[in-house]
């Protein structure tokens, strides 16, 4: 039986599955974390390195994967990373020591190529506004994955033990390799001739104010989500007094809002424009969190007021992220992979720093108003970044119009 390689651009379903695979890889095994610690006789804190170490590796890998895809193409880099993920998943499944499990778990970070390169692939094929619309539909996978992943992982752990999640990871990897082989033809038509030339062009990306505006807008938007994840469990326990089961449902509220916002972004981004969607998303996030903060300052703190307001954060992120992502990878189209990797690393690295900072603050001031205040500050910073991108666009448009007028003048 022959399995011919793809020569045409991928279907959107392929990119959605690649993105979903990345999010599920992060969180599906989380319900097994305590069992893993018990099995290998390590502390829960040590087992936590299976999460924090993975995040650190993915941040570094995005800095490498992007430039590699600009040089060699999206397809070979994706296939290589998926193969590494397959081998690492088998290694995790068969690991006989915690050290071996941790080493293979870090190698699983190669799966980040799925979500890191999907925006670059879309940008290879479409202009910025249409790319934002397509990325909006792909981004819904980033909301569904965090909801379904732990549920599936919990069922697997209960029925078959902690190794079952890693066995499923291996099956997912094999399926994605077959899918990419058959459906994802190369989309990078402007590959760099060599790394020397590529890195000589790299400063153009780093000097772009529009890139940094879009990237920072994404980082602050994601930062609000990380702040919520870091502080919500303690607030739920110390202030709201809700059970872990109820907390799990409440935590899903933010991803539900994100899915709704990402869907609307897919529908309207091409019509509204990149900066319009970025600003609309930030305004929605700021407004929702401000209402919750106002209620908390007035002494009204409840599950509805705290988690209801954070739905708007998720909704705003769903509106903002696809357009900010499309804007970042569109600054220098021939460096779209590098831009996607750099922006992704900024998101993960910034998220890790924000998580540590929020955890430190909330542990000392476990109040809903403190958490919502931190989240509002991050949402406002994202709004400022969106306004900055709009200012840059208008200034460049004005400069372009002036240059055109000067060229038209005689003499």
Q: What is the pLDDT of residues 233-287, one digit of tens each?
A: 677 767 777 765 566 566 667 778 888 888 888 788 878 888 899 999 999 999 9
User: CA 45 to CA 56: how far, in whole Å?
Assistant: 16
pLDDT(176) > 90: yes
Mean per-residue pLDDT for 135-146?
68
Q: Which of 88-97, 346-355, 390-399 has the highest mean pLDDT?
A: 88-97
pLDDT, greater one: 103 or 351: 103
pLDDT in the model for residue 129: 67
Tens digit of pLDDT for each residue in 188-199?
A: 877 766 666 666
Q: What is the gyration radius of the CA atoms in the chain, in angstroms? A: 22
Q: What is the DSSP letter of 5?
A: P
Give, rounded to a whole angstrom, the gap between the first and last alpha carbons of the chain.
70
Instruction: State percent of the chain over pLDDT 70.
Output: 86
Share above pLDDT 90 across residues of the chain, in percent, rounded to a whole number: 26
Average pLDDT over residues 295-323: 87
Domains, in order of start, for the chain:
1-185 (1.20.1250.20), 203-395 (1.20.1250.20)
Helix pair angle (336-364, 209-235), 10° resolution: 30
Asked whether the predicted pLDDT for residue 359 surpasses 90, the reply is: no
pLDDT of res. 245:
55
pTM score: 0.73
Reported as a pLDDT band with limits 50, 70 and 90, residue 346 is confident
pLDDT at 380 (0 to 100): 96
Cβ atoms within 10 Å of 79's Cβ, excluding its own: 18
CA-wise closest residue to 376 among 287, 316, 256, 259: 287
Summarize the confidence of residues 373-384 as an average pLDDT: 94
Burial 194-217 (b: 16+ CB within 10 A, else e): eeeebeeebeebeebebbbbbbbb
- Among 177-181, 259-263, 328-332, which is the least confidently predicted range? 328-332
Mean pLDDT in residue range 133-144:
70
Mean pLDDT over each residue of the chain, to the nearest integer: 82
Number of Cβ atoms within 10 Å of the Cβ of 139: 27
What integer pLDDT is reported at residue 290 of this predicted model? 95
Q: Among 187-196, 224-233, 245-254, 338-347, where is mean pLDDT lowest?
A: 245-254
Give the separation between CA 357 and CA 146, rounded to whole angstroms. Answer: 23
Give pLDDT, residue 6.
63
Count of beta carbons in the 10 Å neighbourhood of residue 261: 31
At 67-112, the pLDDT tens digits run 888 888 889 999 999 999 999 999 999 999 999 999 999 999 999 8
Residue-level pLDDT at 78:
93
């Amino acid at each position: 039986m022959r399995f011919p390689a793809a020569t045409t651009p991928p279907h959107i379903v392929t990119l959605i599955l690649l993105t979903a695979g990345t999010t599920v890889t992060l969180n599906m095994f989380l319900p097994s974390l305590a069992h893993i610690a018990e099995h290998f006789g390590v502390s829960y804190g040590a087992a936590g390195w299976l999460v924090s170490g993975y995040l650190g590796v993915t941040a570094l890998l995005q800095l490498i994967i992007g430039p590699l895809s600009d040089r060699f193409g999206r397809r070979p880099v994706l296939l290589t990373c998926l193969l590494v993920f397959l081998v690492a998943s088998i290694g995790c499944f068969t690991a006989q020591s915690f050290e071996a499990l941790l080493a293979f778990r870090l190698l699983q970070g190669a799966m980040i190529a799925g979500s890191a390169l999907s925006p670059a692939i879309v940008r290879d094929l479409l202009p910025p506004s249409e790319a934002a619309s397509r990325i909006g539909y792909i981004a819904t996978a980033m909301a569904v994955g965090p909801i379904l992943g732990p549920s599936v992982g919990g069922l697997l752990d209960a029925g078959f033990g902690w190794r079952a999640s890693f066995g499923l990871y291996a099956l997912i990897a094999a399926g994605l390799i077959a899918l990419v082989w058959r459906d994802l033809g190369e989309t990078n038509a402007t590959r760099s001739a060599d790394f020397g030339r590529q890195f000589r062009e790299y400063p153009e990306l780093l000097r772009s104010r529009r890139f940094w505006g879009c990237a920072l807008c994404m980082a602050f938007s994601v930062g609000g989500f990380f702040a919520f994840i870091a502080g919500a469990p303690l607030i739920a326990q110390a202030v709201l007094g809700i059970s872990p089961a109820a907390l799990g449902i409440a935590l899903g509220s933010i991803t539900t809002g994100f899915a709704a916002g990402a869907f609307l972004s897919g529908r309207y981004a091409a019509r509204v424009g990149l900066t319009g969607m970025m600003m609309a998303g930030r305004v929605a996030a700021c407004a929702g969190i401000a209402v919750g903060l106002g209620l908390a300052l007035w002494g009204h703190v409840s599950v509805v007021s705290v988690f209801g307001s954070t739905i708007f954060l998720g909704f705003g992120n769903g509106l903002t992220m696809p357009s900010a992502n499309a804007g970042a990878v569109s600054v220098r189209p021939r460096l779209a992979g590098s831009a996607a990797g750099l922006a992704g690393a900024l998101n993960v690295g910034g998220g890790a720093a924000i998580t540590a900072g929020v955890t430190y603050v909330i542990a000392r001031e476990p109040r809903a108003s403190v958490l919502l205040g931190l989240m509002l500050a991050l949402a406002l910073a994202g709004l400022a970044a969106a306004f900055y991108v709009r200012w840059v666009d208008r200034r460049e448009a004005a400069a372009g119009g002036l240059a055109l007028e000067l060229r038209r003048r005689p003499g």
